[in-house]
């Protein structure tokens, strides 16, 4: 076994790593023989030098094999969806129960917030009693009983990724195409899936802001996943504005409840959700084509079957049994809530979506360091979109803050993230491309 620093030096100098070297390094990371500093150096070397396709596959498999790999015996396909991250990206919370209501089984292993993007796990952790880290036996039982379970990465599944994930978040290596690919797929391969659909974001709120970069990432994930034996498709979707009109943790859970119960279904969020869920149904042979898939999904929403699946999942994982009826009672609420108003009349020309995500972190809704606590109450709601017309004094959104000083700072940050003028913004479609 070679020394970790020798492996780091090889990648730093642009040499191709052997499968055995990658496996040794990841085993060392899992067993804590590789230090945090060495892992950070490796991540930075990969960030600048990149990995070949074979190296990506080897890294993904090594991270998968760092822990347990699940096997399922269920009366339906084992399916999952993963997003590369965005702001107001609440899709996972509604998609898992939606697909479950159509006959799929969705064991979704999600992450905490990474960089400026919100984490599905942090959102669910804002539900009182919800166990985001159950044991594998309970996880398996909930998937069998309710059709879906959204939990955090356990110590048993891809533990090497869990450690590297936290290091990437604070070392400026989040955007590495190679590390994103291995991180996502190691967890998905360990989950024992029959099929995976990727939501690859492009735009100002995405890690890969440019469409070409995002397309490269999507192709990388699809290629590596299929090479590793996991049938995968990807959609390239728009993140040039928050996908939902809410950004935060508890506020996004509230948004998901409103969506599932039909109280509010915003067009772009609805379109992305149906498109991703439809790909999952087709991939799992639960629908013959996207048209049939959409028909089934709309029925699951209108009959309340998807909402019921969500409620059963929440209750089975320790959350309140009446969250759908009593979200306002159960979800934590910020003590300071007030509108952020426009400083002038005009049309929203563009949104710096990354700045909106950073404003949520500034409120305490995200992390600057892995050990930081999150305030689940804070964030924004009622966020307007590019193309919306408003007068001076009209609200851009509502800020939910812990105190007046934090609300003041968030107001400035949110207002500066919106460019208001007289130009008509370029029309952007919600679904940019399909890959795989």
- In whole angstroms, give the CA distance from residue 211 to residue 202: 5
- Would you say 105 and 76 are in contact if contact means Cβ atoms under 8 Å apart? yes
pLDDT for 370: 63
The answer, yes or no, to whether residue 202 has pLDDT greater than 80, is yes
The answer, yes or no, to whether residue 115 has pLDDT greater than 90, is no
* 83 annotated active-site: yes
For residues 211-220, give the mean pLDDT: 92
Dihedral sign, CA of 220, 269, 150, 279?
negative
- Give the pLDDT band of residue 147 (cuts 50, 70, 90): very high
The β-bridge relationship of strands 247-248 and 379-381 is: antiparallel
pLDDT for 209: 82
Show the tokens assigned to 202: 């492009």
pLDDT for 127: 98
pLDDT for 426: 77
Q: Active-site residue among 11, 56, 61, 81?
A: 81
What's the angle, vertex CA 114, arms to CA 111 and CA 116, rounded to 5? 140
Which DSSP letter does residue 362 get? I
Q: Rg for the chain (alpha carbons), in Å?
A: 21
- Give the pLDDT band of residue 205 (cuts 50, 70, 90): confident
pLDDT for 419: 96
CA 51 remoteness from chain centre: 24
Task: Please report, rounded to a whole number, the percentage of residues in the chain having pLDDT higher than 90.
Answer: 82
The answer, yes or no, to whether residue 339 has pLDDT greater than 70, is yes
Q: What is the pLDDT of residues 368-398, one digit of tens each?
A: 666 678 899 999 999 999 999 999 999 999 9
- In whole angstroms, give the CA distance from residue 405 to residue 359: 13
For residues 128-145, give the mean pLDDT: 95
- Would you say 228 and 114 are in contact if contact means Cβ atoms under 8 Å apart? no
pLDDT for 317: 98
* 81 annotated active-site: yes
Q: Active-site residue among 21, 24, 80, 199?
A: 80
- In whole angstroms, give the CA distance from residue 313 to residue 124: 11
Helices (DSSP H) in 35-114: which residue ranges?
36-49, 53-64, 91-100
* 80 annotated active-site: yes
pLDDT, greater one: 119 or 380 = 380
The answer, yes or no, to whether residue 11 has pLDDT greater than 70, is yes
- Give the pLDDT band of residue 196 (cuts 50, 70, 90): very high
Three-state DSSP class for residue 317: coil
Question: C-alpha distances in angstroms, 424 versus 119, 346, 388, 427, 428?
Answer: 32, 10, 10, 9, 12
Task: Please report, rounded to a whole number, the percentage of residues in the chain having pLDDT higher than 70.
Answer: 98
Q: Active-site residue among 56, 168, 377, 400?
A: 168
pLDDT for 224: 95
pLDDT for 170: 81
- Give the pLDDT band of residue 230 (cuts 50, 70, 90): very high
pLDDT for 368: 67
* 188 annotated active-site: yes
- Average model confidence (pLDDT) across the chain: 94
Q: Active-site residue among 11, 116, 163, 188?
A: 188
Q: Active-site residue among 66, 120, 220, 353?
A: 120
Q: What is the pLDDT of residues 73-97, one digit of tens each?
A: 999 999 999 998 899 999 999 999 9
- Give the pLDDT band of residue 113 (cuts 50, 70, 90): low
For residues 204, 209, 215 and 218, what is the CA-based torsion angle, rounded to 10 degrees? -90
Q: Active-site residue among 30, 83, 261, 273?
A: 83
Q: Active-site residue among 11, 82, 123, 296?
A: 82
pLDDT for 429: 86
* 183 annotated active-site: yes
């Amino acid at each position: 076994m070679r020394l970790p620093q020798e492996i780091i030096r090889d990648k730093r100098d642009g040499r191709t790593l052997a499968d055995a070297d990658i496996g040794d390094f990841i085993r060392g990371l899992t067993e804590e023989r590789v230090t945090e500093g060495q892992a950070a150096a490796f991540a930075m070397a990969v960030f600048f030098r990149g990995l070949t396709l074979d190296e990506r596959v080897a890294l993904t498999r090594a991270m998968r094999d760092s822990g347990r790999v699940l096997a399922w015996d269920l009366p339906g396909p084992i399916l999952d969806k993963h997003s590369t991250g965005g702001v107001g990206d609440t899709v996972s919370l509604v998609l898992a129960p939606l697909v479950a209501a159509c006959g799929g089984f969705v064991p979704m292993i999600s992450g905490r917030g990474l960089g400026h993007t919100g984490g599905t796990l942090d959102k669910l952790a804002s539900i009182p009693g919800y166990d985001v880290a159950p044991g594998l036996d309970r996880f398996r039982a909930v998937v069998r009983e309710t059709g879906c379970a959204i939990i955090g990465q356990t110590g048993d599944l891809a533990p090497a990724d869990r450690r590297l994930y936290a290091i990437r978040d604070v070392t400026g290596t989040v955007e590495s195409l190679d590390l994103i690919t291995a991180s996502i797929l190691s967890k998905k391969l360990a989950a024992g899936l029959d099929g995976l659909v990727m939501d690859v974001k492009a735009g100002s709120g995405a890690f890969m802001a440019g469409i070409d970069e995002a397309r490269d990432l999507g192709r990388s994930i699809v290629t590596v996943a299929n090479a590793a034996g996991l049938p995968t498709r990807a959609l390239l979707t728009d993140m040039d504005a928050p996908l939902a009109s809410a950004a935060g943790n508890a506020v996004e859970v509230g948004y998901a409840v409103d969506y599932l119960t039909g109280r509010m279904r915003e067009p772009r969020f609805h379109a992305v959700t149906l498109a991703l869920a439809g790909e999952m149904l087709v991939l799992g042979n639960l629908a013959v084509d996207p048209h049939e898939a959409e028909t089934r999904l709309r029925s699951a929403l209108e009959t309340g079957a998807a909402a019921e699946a969500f409620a059963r999942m929440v209750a089975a994982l320790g959350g309140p049994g009446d969250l759908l009826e009593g979200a306002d009672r159960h979800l934590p609420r910020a003590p300071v809530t007030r509108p952020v108003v426009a400083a002038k009349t005009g049309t929203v020309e563009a949104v710096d979506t990354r700045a909106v995500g950073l404003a949520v972190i500034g409120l305490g809704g995200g992390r600057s360091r892995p050990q930081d606590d999150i305030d689940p109450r804070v964030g924004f709601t009622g966020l307007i979109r590019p193309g919306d017309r408003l007068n001076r004094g009209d609200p851009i959104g509502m800020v939910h803050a812990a105190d007046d000083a934090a609300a003041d700072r968030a107001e400035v940050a949110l207002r500066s993230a919106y460019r208001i003028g007289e130009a008509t913004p370029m029309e952007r479609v919600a679904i940019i491309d399909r890959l795989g």
